[in-house]
Amino acid sequence: MHYIFLILFLNINILFSETIDFIQVEGNKKTKNYIILRELKQQVNDTWSAETMATDKNRVYNLGLFSSVEIEVKNTNEQNIYIVRVSEKWYVWPFPIVKYDNRIDQVSSYGGGLIHQNFRGRDEDVSAGATAGQVSEYFLWYSNPWISGDHNSLDITIYDQSSDHHVYSIVEDDKGMYVEGGFYKGYNHKFNFWLNYNNKVIDFFDDEQLVAAPFESDYIGQTKYSYLRIGSQYRYDTRDIYIDPNSGIFLDIEFNHLFGFYDTDDMFDIELDFNIYKSFFSYLGSVFKYNFFSNIQYSKSELPIFKKNYIGGQSYVRGYSAIPSNNEIANATERIEVENFLINSFEIQSTLINRKEYLDQVEMGIDFVLFADYGIGYNLNKSINWNNSLLGYGLGLKIFLMGAVIKFDYALNMHGTSRWHLF
């Protein structure tokens, strides 16, 4: 009988020794404790496991606030302490703004901006910028991914900005306001909703210097657009590490309805982004990725120039340029400048330099990538012409630096030409 009680006593002690008595956060000089604690699956008085520790490490790292995250369990004074140790990144990034006005062929305005990540240590981001000179512009942005409840988020932007079109000799001036909110259902299901009121003015600075094909008359006939864009998004995300996934699924579906005012017609679009990640040859850090990306638009009239997609180059079909005339292929504009598109991409990446914190607050790593992209585009109310397909393939480097990802690719295409891509 004494042996039975002894065995029960030992089993109870072992059971208690596998539970966590206290959770401790270290290294967060600016970030508030609760920002980290609310990401943890591990709770006090719950049993801990290596699997839970790995999940918590990825969740905290996915906040994008830290260059490294380590978790360990220490037994001190017969108590199990769950220690989350982080190394914070740089959070304040100033940047210059120089506006070059193609209409007068000279620099027209100077200014600057500031991005402050993890503002107040609460995982908020704020950014502001302005220019002065012949062109006065500004923007103000605030983002909080978890402002209340279960990942209830808020994103607000006020702006008055302009940009040169990368193909045509036009300048797009936009002025408006954007508000987005969202919430989670569980940890993997995210829902977002937004309102965007925008006034757009298209200005031609030299019609004789069009880089690609001339505009249709509808484009020239309307240069002012005013609309309210109402949108929604569903996101399913099981990736282990957001910036460098080893496994998981990422699905993003977006719906947008542009309610036009005055002479602006209503426009609709659906965007689908589906990704699968699967690791193999773990000793090489190899990962296979498949991506399907599409955008389908509709309007009762022709879509304006700012709704065109250019499916050559970065994030689309590598091996081609986003400027149609830079491609040595037949029907370049018809192939590259489209309203709707379907793109499939395949990638295999392997680790060259492990991603980790090599210097204080400086995380970096390098992966080698092999890829192949296949895509096709078509225009509103027209059928798909499979002869306009695009195929590109090649190799590249993926550089991880302080939370950002820089891609450097060399791509060949089915038409026998090649191109470098940096993005």
Q: At 72, which CATH number?
A: 3.10.20.310
Whether 32 maps to a domain, the answer reads yes
Residue 8 above 50 pLDDT?
Answer: no
Q: Among residues 64, 87, 110, which one ends one of the domains?
A: 87
Q: Among residues 87, 109, 142, which one ends one of the domains?
A: 87
Domain tally, the chain: 2
Helices H, strands E: what count in the chain? 5, 21
Q: Among residues 63, 87, 111, which one ends one of the domains?
A: 87
Rounded CA separation 51/102 (Å): 56
pTM above 0.85, yes or no: yes
Rounded CA separation 68/26 (Å): 12
CB contact set of 71 (below 8 Å; sequence gap of 6+):
53, 56, 57, 60, 82, 83, 84, 85
- Mean predicted confidence (pLDDT) in 11-24: 69
Whether 72 maps to a domain, the answer reads yes
Domain extent at residue 395: 308-423
Tokens of 151: 């990942």
- Mean predicted confidence (pLDDT) in 15-42: 90
Residue 314 above 90 pLDDT?
Answer: no
Whether 136 maps to a domain, the answer reads no
Q: What is the pLDDT of residue 80?
A: 94
Instruction: Say whether 147 sits in a helix, a strand or coil.
Output: strand
Rounded CA separation 118/120 (Å): 6
Q: Are 332 and 417 in contact (CB under 8 A)?
A: no
pLDDT digits (tens, 9 = 90+) for 268-305: 999 999 999 999 988 888 999 999 999 999 999 889 99
Q: Which one-letter amino acid corresponds to residue 359?
A: L
Whether 253 maps to a domain, the answer reads no
Please, which residues bridge with residue 94 across strands?
Answer: 114
How many Cβ atoms from other residues are within 10 Å of residue 78's Cβ? 9
Q: What is the pLDDT of residue 311?
A: 97
Query: 3-state SS of the chain: helix, strand, coil percent to 5?
Result: 15, 60, 30
Rounded CA separation 262/330 (Å): 39
Tokens of 256: 């947008």
